[in-house]
Amino acid sequence: MTTAAPAGTAAEELIRTLPQSFRWGVATSAYQIEGAAFEDGRTASIWDTYCRTPDMVHAGDHGDVACDHYHRMPEDVELIGSLGVDTYRFSVSWPRVQPGGAGPVNAKGIGFYDRLVDELLAKDVDPWVTLYHWDLPQELEDAGGWPVRETAYRFADYAMLVFDKLQDRVRDWTTLNEPWCSAMLGYYVGRQAPGRQNFADAIHAVHHLLLGHGLATQRMRAAANPGHEFGITLNLGTATPASDSIEDREAARRADGLGARLYLDPLLRGRYPADIVTDLADRGIELPVQDGDLEIISAPIEVLGVNFYSGHVYSGRDEQGNTRDAQGNPIDRQIPQGKPVTAMGWEIVPERFTELLVRLGRDYPGVPMVITENGSAFADVPDADGFVEDTERTDYFRQHIAAVAAAREQGADIRGYFAWSLMDNFEWAYGYDKRFGIVRVDYETQRRTPKRSALWYRDTIRQVRSGS
Ligand code: FCB
């Protein structure tokens, strides 16, 4: 059993147990903020295409302009500096840097990130690069996308273009953001680009994403100056059985297996989880592993990035009590825990965050963790000046950062925390309808206004750093 983090003042006290060396950051991703979708040689990614497919994205929203960060980058870096964070996690747009996903680097595209890195360093903020946050060049999807092995090699080539240009100033490198989302939401559920719906394709995508991570890490490390840190970011939650029944326990096992262990085990133990391999075989699906792949995938990393938003309870029965769906597959149904929810409908369960982190530290020891994303969407109401008194979001941060501190006290090696997100942005299929920012963006004027949560975050960082 793990001990949950308390709320209120007790949470603030717990947060102050974090070490002065703890890293504090804010995070974004390219397609969600940059805009300038077809400028300076950038070509379409699967998200440009998906957004133009009717009924896929809320209100037909797209990232053509987004937060116009491409044109407002120096002011945005100024803003980041004013929050007192030491790290800015951003992603690089593959089709901006390598239009069409093949060939040489696009000087204008990489030039943008080159300037961004310099601006950050001038403000004493460390750049933390994510190489892939879901924007696959459309041409690579047309050639088969992540279900095809070749895409992994293309990713490693692209990674090297970015690495060659920025490694002299960037120490922290994340290969992929949330491969579960790329594979499962993109190729099975269809709620993210490219919007395909084929389970076998999704499973093939899992392996090729992980292979791409391994190949890119291997090549970057071979070319790296000393001191670089490489890693991958996974979206992880918890899977708790709704009851002690065998069906519910099996449902939780499958959810944890497909959601977490299918990534953690090959990356950190060099093998796919046997129970999930068997489950897949029952469905006639095999992971497309070739000789040597698992050595590549499990090459050591310096950091595991953890993104956490919620944890879930699973039942092995549908509402009618069936244990199998129409296709004969077992049911894994998430059931509500009766907790308050965010605007996404995600239950607020900071105690599950502690549980997850303690478990990761226990089951996968030896890899330091950084929380590369955590945050919440709420229906913000700005005052006449655009200021948002976002009490609920602030509470969410307070409880979840305390949950991190609680996990550290219970032995988990967590080195940093990055708030999702620096500013309101294009929330994928939810378009601009859902706001996760600690800074409000008025999309009409592109005005940025720090919310209460941003001020709280800044003050909290200051307190922890000063040890007061
Ligand atoms: C994560 C994504 C991030 C953002 C948050 C809310 O899954 O990595 O881009 O959409 O969810």
- Determine the distance separating the centroid of ligand 1 and the alpha carbon of 356, expressed in angstroms: 18
In sequence order, what DSSP letters do the residues of 101-150 get, joined into one string?
Answer: GSSS--HHHHHHHHHHHHHHHHTT-EEEEEEESS--BHHHHHTT-TTSTH
Based on the residue annotation, tell me whether 444 is a catalytic residue of this protein: no
pTM, entire model? 0.98
Q: Are 34 and 426 in contact (CB under 8 A)?
A: no
In a domain, 412, yes or no: yes
Taking the mean position of all CA atoms in its chain, how far away is CA 12?
26
- Determine the distance separating the centroid of ligand 1 and the alpha carbon of 344, expressed in angstroms: 11
Catalytic residue among 119, 141, 351, 373: 373
| Closest ligand 1 atom, residue 177 Cα | 8
| Closest ligand 1 atom, residue 233 Cα | 8
Torsion sign across C-alpha atoms 353, 357, 362, 363: positive
For the stretch 380-432, pLDDT in tens is 999 999 999 999 999 999 999 999 999 999 999 999 999 999 999 999 999 99
For the stretch 239-271, pLDDT in tens is 999 999 999 999 999 999 999 999 999 999 999
- Determine the distance separating the centroid of ligand 1 and the alpha carbon of 118, expressed in angstroms: 26
In sequence order, what DSSP letters do the residues of 287-343 get, joined into one string?
Answer: ----TTHHHHHTS--SEEEEE----EEEESS-TTS-SB-TTSPBP-EEE--S--B-T
- Determine the distance separating the centroid of ligand 1 and the alpha carbon of 281, expressed in angstroms: 31
Nearest Cα residue to atom 10 of ligand 1: 427
Instruction: Inform me whether the pLDDT recorded for 328 exceeds 80.
Output: yes
Q: Specify the pLDDT at position 5.
A: 64
Ligand 1 pocket, residues with Cβ under 6 angstroms: 29, 32, 177-178, 181, 235, 307, 373, 420, 427-428, 436
| Closest ligand 1 atom, residue 377 Cα | 6
Instruction: Inform me whether the pLDDT recorded for 1 exceeds 60.
Output: no
ω into 368 cis (within 30 of 0): no
- What's phi and psi for 369, nearest 5 deg? -115, 150
Structure tokens at 352: 């599950």
Q: What is the CATH number of the domain that holds 272?
A: 3.20.20.80
Task: For residue 334, give its domain range.
Answer: 8-466
- Going by C-alpha positions, the residue among 366, 397, 253 that lies closest to residue 302 is 366
- Determine the distance separating the centroid of ligand 1 and the alpha carbon of 171, expressed in angstroms: 23
Which of 178, 396, 435 best tests ligand 1's pocket when mutated (most atoms within 8 Å of CB)? 178
Structure tokens at 44: 């379409």
- Going by C-alpha positions, the residue among 339, 345, 355, 181 that lies closest to residue 252 is 355
Tally of domains within the chain:
1
SS3 at position 363: helix
The partner residues of 132 in beta bridges, in order of sequence, read 176
SS3 at position 95: helix
| Closest ligand 1 atom, residue 181 Cα | 7
- Determine the distance separating the centroid of ligand 1 and the alpha carbon of 357, expressed in angstroms: 19
In a domain, 44, yes or no: yes
- Going by C-alpha positions, the residue among 375, 387, 382 that lies closest to residue 436 is 375
Helix (H) or strand (E) holding 72: helix 69-82
For the stretch 8-41, pLDDT in tens is 889 999 999 999 999 999 999 999 999 999 999 9
Mean pLDDT of the 182-195 span: 98
SS3 at position 212: helix
Structure confidence at residue 169 as a pLDDT band (50, 70, 90):
very high
Instruction: Extract long-range pairs of 429-432: CB within 8 Å, 24+ residues apart.
Output: 429/56, 429/57, 429/58, 429/191, 429/192, 430/57, 430/58, 430/344, 431/57, 431/58, 431/59, 431/60, 431/61, 431/62, 432/58, 432/59, 432/61
Instruction: Inform me whether the pLDDT recorded for 464 exceeds 80.
Output: yes
Catalytic residue among 34, 119, 178, 250: 178
Taking the mean position of all CA atoms in its chain, how far away is CA 225?
26
Mean pLDDT of the 193-201 span: 98
Which of 29, 47, 61, 428 best tests ligand 1's pocket when mutated (most atoms within 8 Å of CB)? 428
How much helix, strand and coil, in percent to the nearest 5, is found in the chain? 45, 15, 40
In a domain, 1, yes or no: no
Mean pLDDT of the 351-376 span: 98
For the stretch 37-89, pLDDT in tens is 999 999 999 999 999 999 999 999 999 999 999 999 999 999 999 999 999 99
Instruction: Inform me whether the pLDDT recorded for 3 exceeds 70.
Output: no
Mean pLDDT of the 435-453 span: 98
- Determine the distance separating the centroid of ligand 1 and the alpha carbon of 80, expressed in angstroms: 19
Say how many C-beta atoms besides its own lie within 10 A of residue 278's C-beta: 10
- Angle (CA) 404-19-227 rounded to 5° is 95
Instruction: Inform me whether the pLDDT recorded for 6 exceeds 80.
Output: no
| Closest ligand 1 atom, residue 375 Cα | 6
Task: Classify residue 261 as left (phi > 0), alpha (psi -120 to 50) or beta.
Answer: alpha
d(CA 25, CA 37): 26
Structure confidence at residue 276 as a pLDDT band (50, 70, 90):
very high
Instruction: Inform me whether the pLDDT recorded for 159 exceeds 70.
Output: yes
Which of 427, 434, 438 best tests ligand 1's pocket when mutated (most atoms within 8 Å of CB)? 427
d(CA 132, CA 163): 13
Q: Specify the pLDDT at position 8.
A: 80
In a domain, 3, yes or no: no
Torsion sign across C-alpha atoms 448, 342, 311, 179: negative
- Determine the distance separating the centroid of ligand 1 and the alpha carbon of 415, expressed in angstroms: 21
| Closest ligand 1 atom, residue 29 Cα | 9
Q: Specify the pLDDT at position 9.
A: 87
d(CA 328, CA 63): 39
d(CA 221, CA 225): 8
Which of 420, 425, 432, 433 best tests ligand 1's pocket when mutated (most atoms within 8 Å of CB)? 420
Structure confidence at residue 2 as a pLDDT band (50, 70, 90):
low
Nearest Cα residue to atom 4 of ligand 1: 427
Average pLDDT, the chain: 97
With a pLDDT cut of 70, the percent of the chain lying above it is 99
Pairing of strands 369-373, 414-420: parallel
In a domain, 2, yes or no: no
Nearest Cα residue to atom 9 of ligand 1: 29
| Closest ligand 1 atom, residue 344 Cα | 6
- Going by C-alpha positions, the residue among 165, 145, 35 that lies closest to residue 97 is 165
Q: Specify the pLDDT at position 293.
A: 99
